[in-house]
Structure 1
Amino acid sequence: MKKIAVLLFLFNALIAFAQKEVTGVVKDNTGNPLPGVNIVEKGTTNGVTTDIEGFYKIKVQEGASLVYSYVGYNTITRLANATTIDVSLSEEGGQNLDEVVVTGSRTAARSNTTTALPIDVLSSKDLTSTGQASFDKALQYKIPSFNTVQTPVNDATSLLDPYEIRNMGPSRTLILINGKRKNLSSLLYVQTSPGRGETGADISAIPTDAIERVEILRDGASAQYGSDAIAGVMNIILKKNRTDSAVTLRSGITSEGDGEMLGVSLNSGTTVGEKGFLNYTIDFSKVSLANRPGTVDAEGDAGDFGANIADVQSFLNRRPDAGNVNGSPETAAAKFLINGGSPISENTDLYYNAAYVYKKVNSFANYRTPYWRPLDPANPYLNDFFGNGDDSNPSYDGYAPTFEGELNDYNATLGFKNVKNGWNTDGSLTVGGNKQTYTVNNSVNRSDLVDADGNNIYLENSPISFKPGGTSFNHVVGNIDISRIVSDQISIGFGTEFRTENFSVIEGDKASWDGTGADSFAGNRPENSGKWNRYNVGVYLDVAFDITKDFLINGTVRHEEYSDFGGATVWKASTRYKFLEDKITLRGSISTGFRAPTLHQIYTQKSQYSFVPGEGIQVSGIINNVSPQARKLGVNQLQPEKSTNITVGLGAKPFKNFNITLDYYNIKIEDRVTLGDRRYEVITPADPAQPSEVIGNVAYFSNAFDSRTTGLDVVTGYSNIGIGEGKLGFNLSGNITFENKRISGMKNNSSFSDILNSLAFTSRPNTKWIFGANYDIGKFGFSLNNTYFGKSTFNQDGLVSNEVRDTDGNLVRNPDGSGETLRDDNQPNLKTQFLAKIVTDLGVNFTATEKLTISLNVNNLFNVLPEWKFVAENAAGSALLADPAQVKAQSNLITFNQRYSRMTYDGSHFSQLGTMFNLSLNYKF
């Protein structure tokens, strides 16, 4: 036995002596490291994977060969005849690096021609080539299914504009940074404009120069990523460069000579230790006011405010725009971001990123004209506040309240990745928050409240500067994700997520909310302010099975438990089949999803000023679903939305430089959460001897109905066409909406008028196409981009409608039991239709030296502006449109007497203030 033991020892020693250690780095053909590459000793099960920096270490037998494989790349074999072997992998079929995506599956990364899901990939160069000042506006002119528009009446929405994918609202698109959930904004959109009742992450806060690429998954992904991913997922991948540095100076101005933009950003990187990296971005920008008011109609204003027409005309002769300031507000922003990683052991890497953004916005409320807020014996103090204070010779001419918003947004992630025995483990902790606070200046509290001695508390004693409060939101997210490529055919992923969320409504100072509050923007009242929180835990399992090298199936199941509404289980199945030597790909998916109502939607309760056509500015309110008033009105508490997503697509790459994808989608949402109509609510007690309780003119959130959205996405490109000494490339992409509508009756006693229906379903373009051409020759690069915005329609507040309302102004339901609104076809019914337009952008890049690049962008080259017309929806409406006087009256109603003639008071289908000239200098060092 001893001899056998000695022989075994000598044999093992010989084997160990015969082994050698091989290290190296695996990169793609552009020099970027590739994490997760499989390296296997040929003919054995001995293998490792590369870390985040593409580094690997493996012990092999003398004379062994190493096989390097990575999904989407060609597999290569190298003889292990050295202790250091660095390898470069090339993409299958000559694909570009930015075609390899990590979004859409929790297992192995794949190229976007081999995924079972439609994914757009935009590089940093794609984003900067648009010449747009912010990330969200750049996406507007690169992704057809992505839409954002600046709201005509800004208030708090001046801090960030609502955006959406596939007309689903910002609440239904999940934003990730390096694969980790970004925090929501604290803002809830409550204006009568697209995005009403929604909230979303502030993507405009992300500095464009910090982005390596953006992966946009156009498919429901609740099973993979959790709530908010009904419409899709946007994964923002940050730069990892550690050696190069670049500073960019940006400037711009509109053709009207305003809206000046000046910005400077620095992106740089450094090595941390031997193999770690740190990339950082600092970005400062300032955009000046661009004012585009309309010429106000005197008759309309006199009628709205009950003023003498001569007084109105006298004022408008001096100020044809009635003193209004609307367009694009003054904005200043400071953005800081870092992204880094370092190996902490042989198998484990540490990674981290953090960002902080400060934004200050100055905008204006509607100008309070002297016939709107008249100077008379009842209001002599207005001359002291806004005139010269001389009672014998007053100079009072109205006043313009300002709205000033400050935004602080932050997010940070710390995590580690470990590779051991083929298992990839990713653990992380993410924190993020958004806080918005407001200031109203040049305003007044007009309440006639008196103290115990009978003296006015406000009026002549009112302050003229107010702090209306604000909102804040933050979350803490913990993730553990584990994956492994089990074999050449099977890869699995599973994990868990824990998330806590906190939402606060910050109380305003008393003068901002007491009585009627600050004129233009009343503050948050104490009873409407507070802090609320919840938590949830989710687990998921994802399995991908390559039945053959061409046929893939992928399945995911997820369960979430929320502290405030219970559990939800969702699933997803997808497949892809390639044929004709990978030139044609068929793909499809079906999934269920869910979206938890945001804390904002559950707890927001407030009073707000808004323009009511024909009645001027009125105060209305939102009551939340857990308030005593909601209980008295029988309003049900909110439940999560449920969805079913079906996608069927075709991809083709018949030759190296040409590709095309077509993807049909069908999204059904059940129990959709919406902010309903304002209704005048009165509670009548059972005892007739008791007085009725007036709740007032209020709106509230409810699970109001089911909806369906169907459409087609098209993406195609043809590159590297030799023309003379240069290379020409074309790209064409589009989104066509076939159906976007409510498919059920109203639920939970909800009220949803034509106005809200159009904001939810028809206010975005029914189709959008982007056609671009790029030509590179020598040191010059030219780009021409044409964005086609299709028709969109609005049923504006105040526009004539055949919806029947009672004496309190509430919609009357049809007695047939359908829950639909009762209509009177003898009454005219109108809508506005924004006409299809093409916006053309021209870009010229000049590489002056190896380090200096000069770029000129002319956005909206032909000065195309939104244009709308009235459309009759019945015979009575057609008769109205035959009468110019009535047409003028209707036009005044929806533009606040032409103050917002360019886009109407409720919005537009795209934002343009005219031609914009942008010049940037990029210097690398």
Structure 2
Amino acid sequence: MLKTKLCFILTLFCGLMYAQTKISGKVVDTNNEPLPGANIVEKGTKNGTSTNFDGAFELTVAENAVLVVTFTGYETKEVAVNGQTNLTIVLSEGQQLEEVVVTGTRTPARSNTSSPLPVDIVGVKELQATGQTTFDKALQYKIPSFNTVNTPVNDATSLLDPYEIRNMGPSRTLILINGKRKNLSALLYTQTSPGRGETGADISGIPTDAIKTIQILRDGASAQYGSDAIAGVMNIILKDSYKDGSATFRSGITGEGDGEMLGVNVNNGSKIGDRGFVNYTVDFSKTALANRPGTVDAEGEFADFGGTRPGETLADIQEFLSRRPDAGNINGSPETTAAKFLINGSVDVSDKTDMYFNAAYVYKKVNSFANYRTPYWRDIQDFPYLENFFPGSNPTNPGGYDGYVPTFEGDLNDFNATLGFKSKINGWNVDASATFGGNTQTYTVSNSHNRNVVLSPATWVDANNNGVVDPGETTESTQLYRENSPLSFDPGGTSFSHIVGNIDISKVLSDQVAIAVGAEFRTENFEVIEGGLASYDGGGADSFAGNRPENSGNFNRYNLGGYFDVAWDINEDFLLNGTVRAENFSDFGSTFVWKASSRYKFMEDKYTLRASVSTGFRAPTLHQIYTQKAQYSFIPGQGIQVGGLVNNISPQARFLGIPKLTAEESTNFTVGIGGKPFKNFSFTVDYYNIQVEDRIVLSTEIGRTAAGNTTLDQVLDTNNLSDLSFFVNAIDTRTSGIDVVIGYSNLEVGTGKLGFNLSGNYTIQNEREGAVKNPTIVANAGQSVVNQTQEALFFTSRPRTKWILGTTYDIDKFSFSLNNTYFGKTEFFQQGLSTDANGNFNLGTEFTPKVVTDLGINYNATKNITIAANINNIFNVLPEWSFVSQNAAGDAILADPALVKEQSNLITFNQRYSQMTYDGYHFSQLGTLFNLSLNYKF
């Protein structure tokens, strides 16, 4: 079936080819300098192109065509062709009135107001104006439907935070760099926090100063781009100018006096002879630790860890906490060092062919910490050698032993590169490219030990050296760890890489019809890097066990896809667009998806109605298929336990009857209206509805049964695990909501110009549809792979609504911005909270809606020097949560302060994570941030 569809697409494509005549021209600024990368679109069509390094272009148009010419930072210009065959178009610097959209369509680009799809376009200046130090955090305060936040527990997740669009998880947003697929991260989020069970591309490592614009398509786009585009597409378009270079020095600090940040970056460009350019960015930064521990509750600690040795009392724990109120915990935002390099360029290899290229490399080093091992948790009577390993100042213990805090050090290497050619062949636009990308994350655990009893193979001791076993001579074994344990461990890590080949061909067949056809071949490789023996042997390093040999290895797959796209301008106002795509994966088979969209303009093009309907898919990632490991996690009421993550192709999975993963399938529907009823005012309102079938989830922790003699119990006992989890196509979901964007700019107030913008996202529905699809062994054990905790993480752990109200005022050399970001409530049902006899929660938690206010001031000291000061979260607004009763039993708990305290201890690890609980929160816990930057333009 797949071959038939691909043959049909290629046959149709070949049958439509024919030559057309062209016009030529050049786009320059008022100084007659060429503008490479300027966009030229035939008004009312999808026919478009961009200028080369010399500002030149060629384009086939109708004799009476009008060209819409745009370039970032310059005013849009409309030029009537009137039969001319050679044009020189001069653009003046100023406010760009209309962007050209290249995301969400495979036919030639069209202007933003002509697009049938909702696309957010964000320039680099808007990102920089947020004052945020990384790209992902800048988007958090710029795009309402985009959410990201630090995870509470800083181990592997400290290297990059999960992000998502429309509350759909990081796996369902496709990231593109200049229209080409960005590689996934090697990290799989396994903590019980937002993003659990997912992986995504590392966008935090992209240097902001290398970006020209961001185009965020808020619509399903699997038909155009393939897997991962269920929620939308983010296309990061890199700077393409050899001029206007600059150097920037950045510094910052939190209102608490920690989290100091220093950074420097250079963005510049250069000509490549007379036929090309290169733009490059170098960015170095370091951010110090920002520590936000809670004050630990002694009674809760005694309930979890007390009584581990005879005579131990609550007073012993209170004595320790009197010296260390936070129990030695270090959590918040870890120390991070980053080096980022990026280049983007193009060379004209002939009159009709351009070679383009880009490449990026990011190195990140993160130093974070596990939970502090208190002296009543890791007791010196159980481990007497600890007095030598971790000497301290506790007067009650030998050697002053006072506990220890294991470190977690992560090294991230991320790279991506694309080499491609764009040509004009008999009127056809041909784009062929190869993209390479990879992400490797390796870890080091220090200041820890392997506390497990593991003996070396027995060795016979020949006391009299006669070669005969005599009376009294025995075999002896050596304790490999405990008192002989190393203090630093290599747990290994993970790596992901891909190679992607693309060919995209498009043509405007007439004034009304444009087509595109293309193919993509992608091969992916996921590696679980084996840890050192001591990191996993017997149970491994205390805090973070390494990857065992049987769980490590290289895993690969490939897929081939093809698409056909047609756009039909029925008339100047009415557009229809359709795309079909077929793909075949080596590990789970074929899929076929489609998309149809439309746009209608009316009232002299002041208003636009648009709609789309599509099917989509997301292939299970190699991470989800092959990851298998033991991991330490906090179990409320039980402390830290070791659980197992079983992959779907392992012997254990077969033994348990866990099915293999298959692709998620989706149906997307979007309808909206946009308008520009008068000068400087515009708005868009879009409704979306996304249905996902067979959604892949990481199950909740499945524990022992009451009977204790099932197959499930046998697997847990054999592997010395408290519980196990696995990936499964478990649920069907529906997500719907409304996106609103309103802008009013260039209002003259005094001698300056005032602007307002309001954008928001409101989630109408985000929930499971139908019953959970439990494997038989889980159902027979009376458990479920998805419980209320899991559902809260999937559906209510991000704000139900989020709004951004921004004001800008430009006057003389100053530019002021004031932004207010409203984070709606989030809701959780944390593991460990009180439940009734049926397992339903008596209590839930709710994070209170909050408004975070940011102020930015830019001062253009000279033509070349700009000073920018930002105060983020001026009023030091912090996350706050409270219990919410679910029934009469919950009411009774809330009426008893002692019971409330007990429940609070269970979900905050005895107040270690008092501000956000152990499962997460809705915005940063760091409070006020001060940032200052100095920019020098070359």
| Same fold flag (TM > 0.5) | yes
Deviation of residue 49 (structure 1)?
6.0
Q: Deviations over 1:418-444 (max 9, x none)?
A: 013321000000000000000000000
Quick check: 1:768 aligned with 2:802? yes
SS in 2 for 1:680: coil
> 1:4 maps to which residue?
none
Quick check: 1:429 aligned with 2:465? no
Instruction: Give the counterpart letter for 2:199 in structure 1.
Output: T
Instruction: Give the counterpart letter for 1:490 in structure 2.
Output: V
Following the alignment from structure 2 to structure 1, what is the Cα–Cα distance between the partners of residues 737 and 59? 53
Q: Deviations over 1:466-510 (max 9, x none)?
A: 000000000000000001111111111110000000000001001
Decide whether aligned partners of structure 1 residues 315 and 570 sit closer, same or farther in structure 2, where only a CA change above 3 A counts. same
Deviation of residue 684 (structure 1)?
6.0
Decide whether aligned partners of structure 1 residues 581 and 878 sit closer, same or farther in structure 2, where only a CA change above 3 A counts. same
> 1:782 maps to which residue?
816
Deviation of residue 878 (structure 1)?
1.1
Following the alignment from structure 1 to structure 2, what is the Cα–Cα distance between the partners of residues 692 and 455? 26
Quick check: 1:361 aligned with 2:362? no
Deviation of residue 335 (structure 1)?
0.1
Quick check: 1:550 aligned with 2:573? yes
Deviation of residue 57 (structure 1)?
7.1
Quick check: 1:489 aligned with 2:544? no
Decide whether aligned partners of structure 1 residues 459 and 39 sit closer, same or farther in structure 2, where only a CA change above 3 A counts. closer
> 1:87 maps to which residue?
89
> 1:111 maps to which residue?
111
Following the alignment from structure 1 to structure 2, what is the Cα–Cα distance between the partners of residues 511 and 648? 57
Give 1:20-99 correspondences, 5 Å limit: 24-26=25-27, 32-34=35-37, 37=40, 51-53=51-53, 55-56=55-56, 69-70=67-68, 75-77=78-80, 85-88=87-90, 96=96, 99=99
Q: Deviations over 1:513-559 (max 9, x none)?
A: 01121000000011111110000000001111110110011000000
Following the alignment from structure 1 to structure 2, what is the Cα–Cα distance between the partners of residues 87 and 734? 38
> 1:729 maps to which residue?
755
Deviation of residue 652 (structure 1)?
1.1
RMSD over aligned CA atoms reads 2.7
Q: Is contact 2:880-2:916 (8 Å) kept?
A: yes
> 2:910 maps to which residue?
897
Deviation of residue 52 (structure 1)?
3.6
> 1:43 maps to which residue?
none
Name the count of aligned residue pairs: 871
> 1:7 maps to which residue?
none
Decide whether aligned partners of structure 1 residues 392 and 149 sit closer, same or farther in structure 2, where only a CA change above 3 A counts. closer
Following the alignment from structure 1 to structure 2, what is the Cα–Cα distance between the partners of residues 409 and 912? 27
Q: Is contact 1:684-1:691 (8 Å) kept?
A: no
Quick check: 1:796 aligned with 2:830? yes
User: TM-score, with normalisation over the residues of structure 2?
Assistant: 0.89
Q: Deviations over 1:337-372 (max 9, x none)?
A: 000001000100000000000000000000001111
Decide whether aligned partners of structure 1 residues 681 and 538 sit closer, same or farther in structure 2, where only a CA change above 3 A counts. farther
- Of 877, 883, 888 in structure 1, the residue corresponding to residue 901 of structure 2 is 888
Decide whether aligned partners of structure 1 residues 678 and 28 sit closer, same or farther in structure 2, where only a CA change above 3 A counts. farther
Following the alignment from structure 2 to structure 1, what is the Cα–Cα distance between the partners of residues 22 and 700? 71
5+ residue gaps, structure 1, are 1-19, 41-46, 805-821
Following the alignment from structure 1 to structure 2, what is the Cα–Cα distance between the partners of residues 862 and 70? 45
SS in 1 for 2:329: coil
> 1:636 maps to which residue?
659
- Of 380, 386, 391 in structure 2, the residue corresponding to residue 387 of structure 1 is 391
Decide whether aligned partners of structure 1 residues 692 and 469 sit closer, same or farther in structure 2, where only a CA change above 3 A counts. closer
Following the alignment from structure 1 to structure 2, what is the Cα–Cα distance between the partners of residues 836 and 57? 51
> 1:719 maps to which residue?
745
Instruction: Give the counterpart letter for 2:191 in structure 1.
Output: Q
Q: Is contact 2:98-2:113 (8 Å) kept?
A: no
Quick check: 1:346 aligned with 2:351? yes
Decide whether aligned partners of structure 1 residues 484 and 36 sit closer, same or farther in structure 2, where only a CA change above 3 A counts. farther
Following the alignment from structure 1 to structure 2, what is the Cα–Cα distance between the partners of residues 842 and 247? 23
> 2:245 maps to which residue?
245
Decide whether aligned partners of structure 1 residues 404 and 693 sit closer, same or farther in structure 2, where only a CA change above 3 A counts. closer
Quick check: 1:472 aligned with 2:495? yes
- Of 820, 827, 843 in structure 2, the residue corresponding to residue 830 of structure 1 is 843
Q: Is contact 1:266-1:283 (8 Å) kept?
A: yes
Q: Is contact 1:433-1:472 (8 Å) kept?
A: yes
Q: Is contact 2:67-2:81 (8 Å) kept?
A: no
Deviation of residue 74 (structure 1)?
6.1
Q: Is contact 1:68-1:75 (8 Å) kept?
A: yes
Instruction: Give the counterpart letter for 1:733 in structure 2.
Output: S
Deviation of residue 99 (structure 1)?
2.2
Following the alignment from structure 2 to structure 1, what is the Cα–Cα distance between the partners of residues 619 and 871? 42
Following the alignment from structure 1 to structure 2, what is the Cα–Cα distance between the partners of residues 902 and 454? 49
User: TM-score, with normalisation over the residues of structure 1?
Assistant: 0.90
- Of 616, 619, 622 in structure 1, the residue corresponding to residue 642 of structure 2 is 619
Deviation of residue 34 (structure 1)?
4.9
> 1:808 maps to which residue?
none
Instruction: Give the counterpart letter for 1:782 in structure 2.
Output: F
Following the alignment from structure 1 to structure 2, what is the Cα–Cα distance between the partners of residues 862 and 219? 35
Following the alignment from structure 2 to structure 1, what is the Cα–Cα distance between the partners of residues 257 and 48? 60
Following the alignment from structure 2 to structure 1, what is the Cα–Cα distance between the partners of residues 219 and 352? 34
SS in 1 for 2:204: helix
> 1:409 maps to which residue?
414
Following the alignment from structure 1 to structure 2, what is the Cα–Cα distance between the partners of residues 580 and 872? 52
Instruction: Give the counterpart letter for 1:771 in structure 2.
Output: L
Quick check: 1:590 aligned with 2:613? yes
Give 1:256-275 correspondences, 5 Å limit: 256-275=256-275
Decide whether aligned partners of structure 1 residues 681 and 884 sit closer, same or farther in structure 2, where only a CA change above 3 A counts. closer
Identity within the alignment, %: 64
Deviation of residue 80 (structure 1)?
8.7
SS in 2 for 1:797: coil
Give 1:630-669 correspondences, 5 Å limit: 630-669=653-692
Structure 1 stretch 556-565 or stretch 750-759: which is displaced more? Answer: 750-759
Following the alignment from structure 2 to structure 1, what is the Cα–Cα distance between the partners of residues 23 and 612? 42
SS in 2 for 1:548: coil
Q: Is contact 2:183-2:439 (8 Å) kept?
A: yes
Decide whether aligned partners of structure 1 residues 200 and 479 sit closer, same or farther in structure 2, where only a CA change above 3 A counts. same
Quick check: 1:563 aligned with 2:552? no
Quick check: 1:703 aligned with 2:729? yes
Following the alignment from structure 1 to structure 2, what is the Cα–Cα distance between the partners of residues 27 and 96? 15
SS in 2 for 1:912: coil
> 1:446 maps to which residue?
451
Deviation of residue 221 (structure 1)?
0.1
Structure 1 stretch 169-178 or stretch 386-395: which is displaced more? Answer: 386-395
Q: Is contact 2:731-2:771 (8 Å) kept?
A: yes
Structure 1 stretch 231-240 or stretch 48-57: which is displaced more? Answer: 48-57
Following the alignment from structure 1 to structure 2, what is the Cα–Cα distance between the partners of residues 707 and 21? 50
Instruction: Give the counterpart letter for 2:450 in structure 1.
Output: N
Q: Is contact 1:425-1:480 (8 Å) kept?
A: yes
Q: Is contact 2:247-2:265 (8 Å) kept?
A: yes
> 2:879 maps to which residue?
866
Following the alignment from structure 1 to structure 2, what is the Cα–Cα distance between the partners of residues 49 and 369? 65
Instruction: Give the counterpart letter for 1:364 in structure 2.
Output: F
SS in 2 for 1:488: coil
Decide whether aligned partners of structure 1 residues 374 and 38 sit closer, same or farther in structure 2, where only a CA change above 3 A counts. closer
SS in 2 for 1:185: coil
Quick check: 1:505 aligned with 2:528? yes
Q: Is contact 1:561-1:568 (8 Å) kept?
A: yes
Q: Deviations over 1:365-420 (max 9, x none)?
A: 000011111112x4221010110699995211100000000000000000000013
Decide whether aligned partners of structure 1 residues 907 and 28 sit closer, same or farther in structure 2, where only a CA change above 3 A counts. farther
SS in 2 for 1:283: strand
SS in 2 for 1:886: helix
Q: Is contact 1:39-1:66 (8 Å) kept?
A: no
SS in 1 for 2:351: coil
Following the alignment from structure 1 to structure 2, what is the Cα–Cα distance between the partners of residues 855 and 71? 32
Decide whether aligned partners of structure 1 residues 74 and 582 sit closer, same or farther in structure 2, where only a CA change above 3 A counts. farther
Q: Is contact 2:692-2:733 (8 Å) kept?
A: yes
- Of 785, 792, 809 in structure 2, the residue corresponding to residue 758 of structure 1 is 792
SS in 2 for 1:154: coil
